[in-house]
Structure formats: structure tokens, C-alpha cells
Structure 1
């Protein structure tokens, strides 16, 4: 690395605050199934980066 590059990196390090990287959960989509009052239902869920799940509404697609 040249002297000019080292100087530029040093100046940039003073201007931009250092941040600690945080690990999150992978963004995944999955399905949940249930049998409710004789009807088979499905909903789509997503794992968010803060490791919580968010699910949509139940939809009926068959009988059980």
C-alpha cells in the first residue's frame, strides 16, 4: 500500500465513525399448516433480521 493510500485510509477513518457489526438471523420464508374445523389451512411466515417471525393470515386450501 502506498503512502498516499495509507494517508487516505487514515483520513477516512477519522471522518467515518467505527461501527460494530451485529449478526442477525437469516431472512427465511416458511409455511405453517393447521387443521381447523375440518379445513386444512396454510400461512406464509418470514423470519426477520431481528430474529422474530411475521406471519400472514390463514388461508383454507383443502379439507382435513
Structure 2
């Protein structure tokens, strides 16, 4: 996947004009940023997952006598 991404990143400015490449990458950057923020603020069940990880961590720490 990394090699494919590098090839596309190298080839895209050569196939599409640099002006359009700049605009497309800017839109993608802001789009993924907003998507990440939305996902972070609307995530359901995160508290339950955090409690489960905490319980496992406490169990692990108790098992190694800390």
C-alpha cells in the first residue's frame, strides 16, 4: 500500500496539472480532517471501551505485582 501510495503521489502531479493537484489535495486534507473530528466527537461506546481497557490494564498490573 505504501509503494502504491508513493507511486500515485509521484505520478498524480505529472498526469494532472499542479494547480488542480494542489486544489484536490487541499480539499482531501480538509475533508479527512473534518471527518476525523466528526468521528471523534460523535463516537458512541467510547467510554465503555475505555473502561474495558482500564480493567484489563489493572488486571495486568496486579498480575505482575505492581
TM-score by length of 2: 0.25
Question: Which protein is richer in helix relative to its size?
Answer: 2
Q: TM-score, normalised by structure 1?
A: 0.26
